[in-house]
């Protein structure tokens, strides 16, 4: 009996110890895992970025159409073709004008021949008049013969001038017919690539009425030169100037940044959205060779560099809380809320001019549950030194 009582007491003591240990364990403070980054020395740029996605544009792009209506007779190019300046892209039916051109060409040729004939006769008459004058000086020709030869020379010269004028009129008429014939042919205004062709052989095209835009017959782009165009918020636009350096990034080439320079700031504000008015900014690539694998139409983002410091204390911008404060992981492994003074900043880095020392660790995972001033913290495995 005594032995059973001892065993029961021992069992109860073990249970009590386990319960006490559980209370101690449950009451122990758990560390919150945080991602930290060290304050380090590096470059910080103050930048302005676009508010909506921009676009890669060709430096030269033309949507061209015939200046007259007619039926498409020839389409010697297709989408994607490389063409040279002056190459025919589209030709309308023009057999009647071709015939008129050949007729005008023949008339111009005949008029030139008649002018040559008249001028040869004028030269002969002039030589005869000169000969009669020499004979008169030797009393071998009468005054009447001299007058007759001189009058014939002047008449033939007038006929020569009239024939030449008639030839010029015929040439002008030929040029008029040539211009009308040229209007039936659509030619490339510059070297480029055919982006789009609207029309098929046999279809009719008509000029676009005033105020009613229609698709161009041929969309031609010069892809040897590209630039980025993007909308900048009207609040930021006044600080941007032509010639400022900029960075260009593309969704199609993730992870790559291209150096550029601002070439144009639009002199007007777009009101596409009343509450989000923007100004278009165009940025040239500093090295056009960077554009070799790019296509017009790619979405692009630009960052215009307003100011830059190359060797300052910086921290990730995501670590900065409202009111210019950060959570610092102290040597006691606890989070400490600390106010800092900032300088230049962008979406990636913020310059710290006071309140932090190089090497101190700041929390970048500030949106995690339980992350606040004074809590016990532990470094997350994603933490890394910069």
pLDDT, tens digit, 9 for 90 and up, residues 166-221: 999 999 999 999 999 999 999 999 999 999 999 899 999 888 777 677 888 999 99
Binned at pLDDT 50, 70 and 90, residue 293 comes out as: confident
Does pLDDT of 360 surpass 60? yes
Cα–Cα–Cα angle for 50, 54, 55, rounded to 5 degrees: 160
Question: Residue 24: its pLDDT value, please?
Answer: 43
Q: What is the mean pLDDT of residues 256-262?
A: 92
CA distances, 125 to each of 106, 142, 153, 331 (Å): 29, 17, 4, 119
Q: What is the mean pLDDT of residues 137-164?
A: 89
Among 326, 338, 337, 323, which residue's Cα sits nearest to residue 374? 337
The residue among 17 and 255 whose pLDDT is bigger is 255
Question: Residue 25: its pLDDT value, please?
Answer: 45
Question: Residue 52: its pLDDT value, please?
Answer: 86
336-357 per-position pLDDT tens digit = 899 999 999 888 899 999 999 9
In this structure, is the dihedral angle defined by the CA atoms of residues 371, 374, 379 and 383, taken in order, positive or negative?
positive
Question: Residue 108: its pLDDT value, please?
Answer: 92
pTM above 0.85, yes or no: no
CA distances, 139 to each of 126, 150, 152, 251 (Å): 20, 17, 21, 102
The helix (H) or strand (E) run that includes residue 229 is strand 218-233
Question: Residue 134: its pLDDT value, please?
Answer: 87
Question: Residue 381: its pLDDT value, please?
Answer: 73
Copy the structure tokens of residue 64: 């061209």
Under 8 Å between Cβ of 132 and 144: no
Side-chain half-sphere exposure of 386, counting CA atoms within 13 A: 21
- 8-state DSSP, 146: H
> Residue 199: left if φ>0, alpha if ψ -120 to 50, beta else—which one?
left
């Amino acid at each position: 009996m005594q032995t059973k009582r001892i065993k029961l007491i021992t069992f109860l003591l073990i249970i009590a110890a386990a319960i006490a240990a559980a209370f101690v364990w449950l009451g122990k403070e758990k560390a919150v895992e945080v991602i930290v980054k060290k304050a380090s020395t590096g470059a910080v740029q103050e930048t302005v970025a676009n508010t909506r996605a921009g676009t890669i544009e060709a430096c030269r792009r033309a949507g061209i159409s015939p200046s007259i209506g007619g039926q498409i007779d020839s389409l010697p190019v297709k989408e994607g073709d490389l063409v040279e300046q002056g190459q025919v892209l589209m030709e309308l039916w023009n057999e009647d004008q071709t015939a008129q051109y050949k007729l005008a060409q023949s008339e111009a040729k005949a008029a030139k021949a008649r002018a040559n004939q008249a001028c040869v006769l004028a030269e002969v008459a002039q030589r005869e008049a000169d000969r009669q004058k020499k004979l008169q000086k030797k009393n071998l020709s009468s005054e009447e013969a001299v007058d007759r030869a001189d009058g014939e020379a002047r008449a033939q010269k007038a006929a020569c001038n009239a024939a030449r004028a008639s030839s010029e009129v015929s040439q002008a008429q030929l040029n008029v017919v040539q211009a009308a014939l040229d209007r039936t042919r659509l030619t490339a205004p510059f070297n480029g690539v055919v982006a789009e062709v609207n029309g098929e052989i046999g279809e009719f095209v008509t000029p676009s009425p005033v105020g009613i835009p229609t698709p161009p017959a041929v969309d031609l782009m010069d892809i040897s030169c590209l630039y980025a165009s993007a909308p900048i918020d009207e609040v930021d636009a006044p600080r941007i100037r032509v010639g400022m350096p900029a960075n260009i990034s593309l969704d199609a080439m993730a992870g790559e940044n291209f150096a550029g320079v601002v070439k144009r700031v639009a002199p007007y504000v777009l009101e596409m959205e009343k509450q989000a008015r923007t100004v278009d900014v165009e940025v040239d690539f500093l090295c056009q060779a960077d554009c070799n694998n790019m296509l017009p139409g790619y979405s692009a983002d630009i960052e215009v560099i307003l100011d830059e410091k190359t060797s300052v204390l910086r921290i990730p911008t995501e670590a900065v809380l409202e009111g210019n404060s950060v959570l610092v992981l102290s040597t006691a492994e606890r989070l400490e809320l600390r106010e800092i003074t900032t300088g230049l900043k962008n979406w990636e880095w913020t310059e710290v001019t006071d309140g932090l020392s190089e090497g101190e660790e700041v929390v970048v995972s500030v949106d995690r549950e339980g992350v606040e001033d004074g809590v016990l913290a532990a470094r997350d495995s994603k933490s890394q030194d910069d």
